[in-house]
Amino acid sequence: MNNGKQLRVLFFGAGVLGSLYAARLHESGYEVAIVARGNRYDELKKHGIVLVRHDTDERTVTPVRVLDRVPEDEPFDVCVVLVQRQQLDEALPALAAGNGIASYIIMTNMLDGPDVLIDALGRERVLVGHVNAGGEREGHIVRYMCAERMTMGELDGSRTPRIERIAAAFEGAGFPVDISHDMVAWKRCHAAFASVLVNALYMKGTDNFELARDRAVMKKLVIGIREALSVVRAHGISIEPSKLKAIFWIPAFVLVPVLSRALGSDLFDIGGARHARNAREEMARLTGELLEMARTADVDTPVIDELARYATVDTNAENAVAREASVAK
């Protein structure tokens, strides 16, 4: 990694998250480029990155360098990969072409572990991270929110100068960062419980406020998250972050109102529900992987199985609910 003061950062993925982080790091003085394709490439060339903060409507416009592919030989200290899981398989060969890229930090939701990343990019170049933001694109404008902290780490959990330097860059741009001692487990646990949560959201037509009001479904969600983490644990994967272990022993009557308050908020609407509306294919992929993990570990998952019906890509949640009501009659 370049030992100079200025970190050179390439962003692969120009959606909500790639746009937000690229703009803020550029504004903080880092040398930034972003890879975009199709209409998004044209939008960024014409307008720059236009951000609107959801709670204040503060608007910023940041011109950044826009590329239509990963440069083969140009040096970058790190490439931040922000694409959906089903897009990552296609992206890996393009990413691997970046011979000048010292490190890749993959922020994609992944249940299947880092082997595919290691095979494509090389173990020594792979880092894993997780975002602390969400939102939705409205034309060329990105409406966003931030919550809690980013998390990132080395594959082996060590605290290296490069992960500290990358974390410091994001912190300097206004994004607090935790460095995890087991980021691979952290990501796998997140993908497992997030797939259950989002399927419950699909059950309610992606209306997080309606989901939060339905105590019966919220109780089912708590049980489903317990099932998901049990599947992960059955595969010998640690529960990370460790605070997630509390879901096994805190009673549902305590967890349901706590989760209901979190999910029934404007923050979750823009940071979670809107992403879910645009990520059906990704969530279907994660759900399928979770079900396969449950099968191979012989773990019973009745709630996950029930909610998985709402993960299908070609059927929206409203139609699923209507069919269920018709059958009930």
* pLDDT score at 325: 30
**Opening angle at CA 114, ends 111 and 120, nearest 5:** 130
Domains in the chain: ranges and CATH: 8-180 (3.40.50.720), 185-322 (1.10.1040.10)
Q: Are strands 133-138 and 141-146 parallel, antiparallel or unpaired?
A: antiparallel
* pLDDT score at 271: 84
* pLDDT score at 313: 55
- Answer whether 45's CB lies under 8 Å from 71's CB: no
Query: What would the mean pLDDT of 225-254 be, rounded to a whole number?
Result: 96
Does residue 302 have a pLDDT over 80?
yes
Angular region, 57: left φ>0, alpha ψ -120 to 50, beta rest: left
Q: Collapse the DSSP code of 100 into the 3-class scheme (helix H, G, I; strand E, B; otherwise coil) and give the result.
A: coil
Percent of the chain with pLDDT over 90: 86
Does residue 264 have a pLDDT over 90?
yes
Report the first-to-last Cα separation within the chain, whole angstroms: 64
d(CA 142, CA 52): 6
Query: What would the mean pLDDT of 115-143 be, rounded to a whole number?
Result: 95
The kind and range of the H/E element at 139 are none
* pLDDT score at 275: 83
Which is more confident, 324 or 61?
Answer: 61
d(CA 56, CA 102): 37
Using pLDDT thresholds of 50, 70 and 90, give the confidence band for residue 316: very low
Query: What would the mean pLDDT of 253-268 be, rounded to a whole number?
Result: 94
pLDDT, one tens digit per residue, over 162-198 is 999 999 999 999 999 999 999 999 999 999 999 999 9
Rg (CA), the chain: 20
Query: What would the mean pLDDT of 43-49 be, rounded to a whole number?
Result: 97
Ranges assigned E (strand) in the chain: 8-12, 31-35, 49-53, 59-62, 65-67, 78-81, 104-106, 126-130, 133-138, 141-146, 150-154, 177-179
- Token pair, residue 196, equals 């259950």
